[in-house]
């Protein structure tokens, strides 16, 4: 293998130190492409090592990427193992370098973000072109929003049109495209995933296929039309128009779908994907269900209405509140839906894992007040480093109980940050 292929391919490229969430997400997407390629998908050890060192670097832990640490956390070696005689880390790293070289030698790869593992180091290096295909692909998606609101109902008419439009994308196209990029990235990162495994245990133990139920934007329109004056529980009586069979969903909801599908696939679980408008109650009775989206998903709204934490219209115009029924006067977990898209600064999400007494099946929700919160919930449910936060606050034996978790996330220029646990309820 010609190792010169790992060198910077052109003077136009530059070594890149990702500093923003958008930069890091771009690298994760590129990692997904690499791991899904023929060079890596048949080598679990190489995929695990590459996913581990890239993930730790993006999390700011590059200084811990030493041979012994990698040997313990990736290959399961004892903390005092002899690195002089057991060279599994060095050998695998060398194989990773060869496979990276093979990947970037394939036609059409020359201008992608490059992930390199310099000889003698386990800290990856990232190289990009000033105008990469990833950036162009993001622009192509971002400039095609679809209006989901009636301007007269939610947004002052003087507001720019772009502020009244939310991004929606075909579920069929989004699921296929995003799965190919992200599913493997999330799936292989199973090192140090004990908390993740314990949370998902009721689903993974089920012999039946898992239902992935994603909301579509027709439900958002109906919810927006009802507005703050709608009576409590009005979501229970949706008009027939809400079930018109739309195949459009938010991009962030589709990414969440891809992450969860990747996790299930890595664990050998069969699953099927349906829009909420195609799901009957009988579907929820056949096995565990993952409900993605809150206002956009009828089944999530119905399920959440029976819980301690739910989402209701606030007293301020166009405001939705994550309500704690034990403290109903609290209004600070709220989002103003009339805020321009690129000025949104916060969102909240509801993650639930519970045995539903009506369907007698386990239900998990990834449900944000807006789609930013849903994306943060998806990261929490699939990222071992994020869900590990449960260990610090949940009581012993939490994995055997029903639980509802309220997450908060800061949104910076349209990208949600790391989810933070702000409230829990176990029963």
Flag whether 142 is in a domain.
no
Counting Cα atoms < 13 Å in the Cβ hemisphere of 197 gives 8
The H or E element containing residue 98 is helix 88-104
Flag whether 347 is in a domain.
yes
Pairing of strands 248-249, 309-313: unpaired
Flag whether 98 is in a domain.
yes
| pLDDT band with cut points at 50, 70 and 90 for residue 326 | very high
The answer to whether residues 63 and 209 belong to one domain is no
Residue 116 belongs to domain spanning: 3-133
Q: What pLDDT, on a 0 to 100 scale, did the predictor assign at position 217?
A: 65
Domain count within the chain:
2
Flag whether 125 is in a domain.
yes
Among residues 320, 370, 66, which one has the least CA distance to residue 215?
Answer: 370
CB 307 within 8 A of CB 356: no
Flag whether 219 is in a domain.
yes
The answer to whether residues 128 and 182 belong to one domain is no
| Mean pLDDT value of segment 200-227 | 74
Flag whether 145 is in a domain.
no
Final residue of a domain: which of 72, 106, 133? 133
Q: What pLDDT, on a 0 to 100 scale, did the predictor assign at position 13?
A: 56
The answer to whether residues 306 and 367 belong to one domain is yes
Flag whether 281 is in a domain.
yes
| pLDDT band with cut points at 50, 70 and 90 for residue 236 | very low
| pLDDT band with cut points at 50, 70 and 90 for residue 108 | confident
The answer to whether residues 129 and 157 belong to one domain is no
The answer to whether residues 109 and 162 belong to one domain is no
Flag whether 295 is in a domain.
yes
The answer to whether residues 77 and 176 belong to one domain is no
Residue 114 CA to residue 127 CA, distance in Å, equals 5
* Burial degree of 322 (CB within 10 A; 0-12, 13-18, 19+): buried
Paired with 354 in beta bridges are 363
Final residue of a domain: which of 100, 133, 166? 133
The answer to whether residues 197 and 53 belong to one domain is no
CB 369 within 8 A of CB 348: yes
pLDDT digits (tens, 9 = 90+) for 136-186: 444 443 433 333 333 333 333 344 444 344 344 444 444 444 444 444 444
The answer to whether residues 207 and 312 belong to one domain is yes
SS (H, E, C) 202-240: HHHCCCCCEEEEECCHHHHHHHHHHCCCCCCCHHHHCCH
Final residue of a domain: which of 78, 102, 133? 133
The answer to whether residues 170 and 71 belong to one domain is no
The answer to whether residues 186 and 100 belong to one domain is no
Tokens standing for residue 164: 């009244």
The answer to whether residues 120 and 164 belong to one domain is no
Its pTM stands at: 0.55
101 contact partners, CB below 8 Å, separation of at least 6: 1, 2, 3, 5, 6
The answer to whether residues 306 and 340 belong to one domain is yes
């Amino acid at each position: 293998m010609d190792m010169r292929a790992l060198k910077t391919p052109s003077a136009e490229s530059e070594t890149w130190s990702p500093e923003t969430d958008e930069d890091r997400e771009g690298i994760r997407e590129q990692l997904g492409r690499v791991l899904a390629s023929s060079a890596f998908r048949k080598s679990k050890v190489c995929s695990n090592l590459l996913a581990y060192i890239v993930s730790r670097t993006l999390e700011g832990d590059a200084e811990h990427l030493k041979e012994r640490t990698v040997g313990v956390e990736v290959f399961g070696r004892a903390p005092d193992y002899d690195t002089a005689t057991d060279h599994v880390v060095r050998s695998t790293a060398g194989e990773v370098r060869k496979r990276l070289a093979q990947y970037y030698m394939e036609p059409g790869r020359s201008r992608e973000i490059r992930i390199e593992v310099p000889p003698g180091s386990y800290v990856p290096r990232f190289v990009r072109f000033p105008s990469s295909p990833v950036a162009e692909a993001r622009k192509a998606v971002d400039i095609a929003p679809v209006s989901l609101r009636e301007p007269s109902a939610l947004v002052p008419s003087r507001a720019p049109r772009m502020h009244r439009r939310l991004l929606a994308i075909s579920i069929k196209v989004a699921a296929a495209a995003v799965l190919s990029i992200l599913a493997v990235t999330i799936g292989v990162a199973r090192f140090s995933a004990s908390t993740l495994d314990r949370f998902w245990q009721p689903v993974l133990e089920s012999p039946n296929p898992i239902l992935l139920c994603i909301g579509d934007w027709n439900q958002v329109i109906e919810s927006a039309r009802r507005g703050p004056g709608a009576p409590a529980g009005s979501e229970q009586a949706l008009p027939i128009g809400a079930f018109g069979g739309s195949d459009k969903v938010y991009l962030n909801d589709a990414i969440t779908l891809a992450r969860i599908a990747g996790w299930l696939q890595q664990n050998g679980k069969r699953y099927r994907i349906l829009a909420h408008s195609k799901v009957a109650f009988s579907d929820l009775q056949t096995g565990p269900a993952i409900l993605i989206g809150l206002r956009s998903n009828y089944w999530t709204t119905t399920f959440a209405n029976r819980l301690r934490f739910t989402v209701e219209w606030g007293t301020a115009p166009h405001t939705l509140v994550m309500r704690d029924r034990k403290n109903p006067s609290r209004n600070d977990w709220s989002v103003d839906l009339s805020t321009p898209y690129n000025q949104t600064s916060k969102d909240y999400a509801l993650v639930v894992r519970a045995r539903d007494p009506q369907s007698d099946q386990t239900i998990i929700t990834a449900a944000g007040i807006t789609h930013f919160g849903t994306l943060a919930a998806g990261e929490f449910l699939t990222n071992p480093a994020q869900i590990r936060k449960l260990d610090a606050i949940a009581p012993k034996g939490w994995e055997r109980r029903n639980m509802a978790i309220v997450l908060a996330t800061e949104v910076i220029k349209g990208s949600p940050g790391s989810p933070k646990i702000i409230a829990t309820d176990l029963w």
